[in-house]
Amino acid sequence: MKILVFVKQVPDTDDVRLDPRTGNLMRDGVQSIINPFDANGVEAALQLKAQCGGQVVAISMGPPQADDVLKKALAMGCDESVLISDRALGGADTLATGYPLAKAAEKIGDYDLIICGRHATDAETAQTGPIIAAFLGIPQVTLVDKLSVEDGFAICRRLLPDRYETVKVKLPALVTVCSEINTPRYPTPINIMKALKKPRAVWNAADLGCEPDMIGIPGSPSSNKKIFEPPKRMTETIFFQGDAEAVARAIADALEAEKII
């Protein structure tokens, strides 16, 4: 069984700044991490590999430093990685991102399952996974919080606002996973060392056979008119001390003074 898992490098959401002139994220000097939902995707892939055997390939698109998240995926247990990096891919919206990622899946070939996180924390569109599936012409299941594979089918439980929905889909297919599906493992020191010896490829747009008018800014039909930071507010923190009864009384008095109760 071959599983492809897509991962993205995102800014640490506790340390995001915006360029006041362009409205774009200022990534210089900002710590980047693996998109948390993608880490759940890696863990889901590794658990399926443990149950069914096979191979897990981690794929990311971004500048050369995006290789850092692939190193983490390899250290978690993925077998090999592919970094898609090319200046021509810069400025892509979700459509122009999903297209080269789908081309990478086609180039790798013979996959049974593709796993993505439900969305990236830097944009939260939740569009890239479904777009990849659409380009590949394979079925997709989103918001998966429980996943298994049986007899050529993926059994997916979807986490909906007021209920669960179980879907059985024939492979090959793509799923996007929620954080509720698992707790990602931490790379062990020995696996970090092993990751350095695993196969790692770097492909550009030409390697993938991408059409120039379908990538980067030319291939992006959508754009952001404006992105801005919400105003920062200073808040006063009050600490209450004493036993439970005294603290409860103090909280009630404070809320009553603010006319909240």
Instruction: Report yes or no on 158 lying in a domain.
Output: yes
Domain presence at residue 152:
yes
Q: What's the CATH code of the domain at 72? A: 3.40.50.620
Nearest residue to 169 via CA among 184, 181, 157: 157
What's the pLDDT score for residue 31? 76
- Residues 253, 261: Cα–Cα separation, whole Å: 9
46: DSSP letter: H
Each of the 261 residues of the chain gets a pLDDT tens digit; together they read 999 999 999 987 655 666 666 555 666 656 789 999 999 999 999 999 999 999 999 999 999 999 999 999 999 999 999 999 999 999 899 999 999 999 999 999 999 999 999 999 887 899 999 999 999 999 999 999 999 999 999 999 999 999 999 999 999 999 999 999 999 999 999 999 999 999 999 999 999 999 999 999 999 998 777 776 677 777 788 889 999 999 999 999 988 988 888
- Is 196 part of a structural domain of the chain? yes
Considering its fold, how many domains does the chain have in total? 1
Domain range holding 119? 2-214
Instruction: Tell me if 241 is assigned to some domain.
Output: no
In a domain, 127, yes or no: yes
With respect to residue 257, please indicate whether it lies within any of the assigned structural domains.
no
The pTM (predicted TM-score) of the whole model is 0.84
Beta strands in 13-139 (DSSP E): 32-34, 55-61, 80-84, 113-117
Q: Up-side HSE of residue 82: CA atoms within 13 Å toward CB? A: 21
Measured CA to CA, the distance from residue 142 to residue 126 in angstroms comes to: 9
**85 located within any domain:** yes
The answer to whether 143 and 178 have CB atoms below 8 angstroms apart is: yes
In a domain, 247, yes or no: no
